[in-house]
A = this chain, B = another copy of it.
Amino acid sequence: MMAVYEATATAPVNIACIKYWGKRDTKLILPVNSSLSVTLNQDDLCATTTARADLAFERDRLWLNNKEEEIKAGGRLATCIAGMRSLRREFEKTDNSLPKIAEYHVHIASKNNFPTAAGLASSAAGFAALVSALAQLYKLPTTPSELSIIARQGSGSACRSLFGGYVAWEMGTKDDGSDSRAVQVAGREHWPEIHALICVVSDIKKGTSSTSGMQRTVETSPLLQHRTSNIVPERMTAISKAIKERDFPTFAQLTMADSNQFHAVCLDTEPPIFYMNDVSRAIIATIVEYNRAAVAAGGEVKAAYTYDAGPNAVIYTLKENVKEIIELVSHYLPHAVPFKDAYGLFAGTQPVGRLPAGFNEAVAKKFEAGAVKNLIHTSVGDGPQVLGPDQSLLDTKGQPL
């Protein structure tokens, strides 16, 4: 019987506070600016990937949520698999006792623990889980930063999913992309109180894909270069400091400002790109009012909204405010499905839409149930994890389970 070479790993979703928008090299996926994100808890959102190498496999194959995906020559999947295989080959050269599994074909199965229909960018978690599973399969002595360089070539923001906690993607300056990688600014345990609420917003039409949208911005927005050269570098320094000092108001202010500016350069694109809709706008208005009321009452800014390339809101806040914000969001955006109370805040009951004291209800209108399809409560989390063989997604024949 031949030896079986297999590993299973999970990787998290990350949501950027300082946004990645625009590539200086589209093939290597090198960005026009650095970015920074919070890694989300894998208990709530993660991708799981099993990779197996077997002499008997006839070609590389990959299944995503049990559906086979074509591994196109020169495509992003092929690039990541080739990158990992190349690291294994180099590694085998250093130690003759290592089995020559770099020459085997691989079968890979991946799935998400959240519905793809949630509209959450699953590619970041997916590519991070892919390189993590392959790194484990190949027993590579690589660091997460080294792996992030390969994951980056699958999906830019995937590089930030190689770490838990608070993660910077340093844009780098080299043409070959060897210094365009993720680094951890702080671990989850440094500031575990950061929680996130994801408001999955219904949208009628499919928006512009981020890949094509960001290149249109690079080509046509007169404001983008000013953003990347003059604004983002200062924001990266300032938000890293805020994270290190656990300064939530500064973290929140920078997060909101950078979400706004990302959408501003989208609007400054020709033709303009709109990702936020009237529901997104209403969520912004309620968070602005929530913070205003908190500050007016002698407190501090308590929440930050951020939007990626779609209408979904992610609201960052401290653990102590989550229940209040779930009530607030529920007031304007009644749930279409019951709220899944993963952190036990409501003791078996559902939010009723209570507004905080001193809150001006008129800042937004109430929408009909279903304008927000789903509300997901999560928190800052750890980086990729290796699972045991009992968690494999492949059967004995190398087919998805």
Residues of A within 8 A of B (CB): 204-205, 222-223, 226-227, 230-231, 253, 256-257, 260-261, 263-265, 267-272, 274, 277-278, 281, 284, 288, 362, 364-365
Contacts and interface: CB of A to CB of B under 8 A. Distances in A.
The 9 closest A-B pairs by CB, nearest first: A264-B264, A226-B226, A264-B268, A264-B267, A271-B288, A260-B272, A278-B278, A222-B231, A223-B223
A263 B269 CA distance: 12
A204 B362 CA distance: 11
A267 B270 contact: no
Contact of A260 (B226, B253, B270): B270
Contacts of A260: 267-270, 272
Given A222-B230, A253-B270, A278-B278, 5 more contacts: A222-B227, A222-B257, A223-B227, A264-B267, A274-B281
B261 A365 contact: no
27 contacts: A204-B365, A205-B362, A222-B227, A222-B230, A222-B257, A223-B223, A223-B261, A223-B264, A226-B226, A226-B230, A253-B270, A256-B270, A257-B270, A260-B268, A260-B269, A261-B267, A261-B268, A263-B267, A264-B264, A264-B265, A264-B267, A267-B267, A271-B288, A274-B281, A274-B284, A277-B281, A278-B278
A231 B268 CA distance: 12
Nearest to A270: B257
A12 to B, nearest CB: 29
A162 to B, nearest CB: 30
A260 B271 CA distance: 9
Number of copies of this chain in the oligomer? 2
A124 B1 CA distance: 87
The residue in A253, A260, A365 that gathers the most chain B C-beta atoms within 10 A of its C-beta is: A260
Most chain B beta carbons < 10 A, residue from A223, A269, A277, A288: A223
Nearest to A253: B270
* Residue in A230, A265, A271 with the greatest tally of chain B CB atoms within 10 Å: A271
B222 A261 contact: yes
Contacts of A271: 256, 284, 288
A365 B277 CA distance: 13
A234 to B, nearest CB: 9
Contacts of A253: 270
A281 B362 CA distance: 23
Nearest to A362: B205
A376 B155 CA distance: 47
Contacts of A231: 222-223
Contact of A277 (B205, B261, B263, B278): B278
A365 B205 contact: yes
Contacts of A284: 271-272, 274
Contacts of A272: 260, 284
Contacts of A265: 264
Contacts of A267: 260-261, 263-264, 267
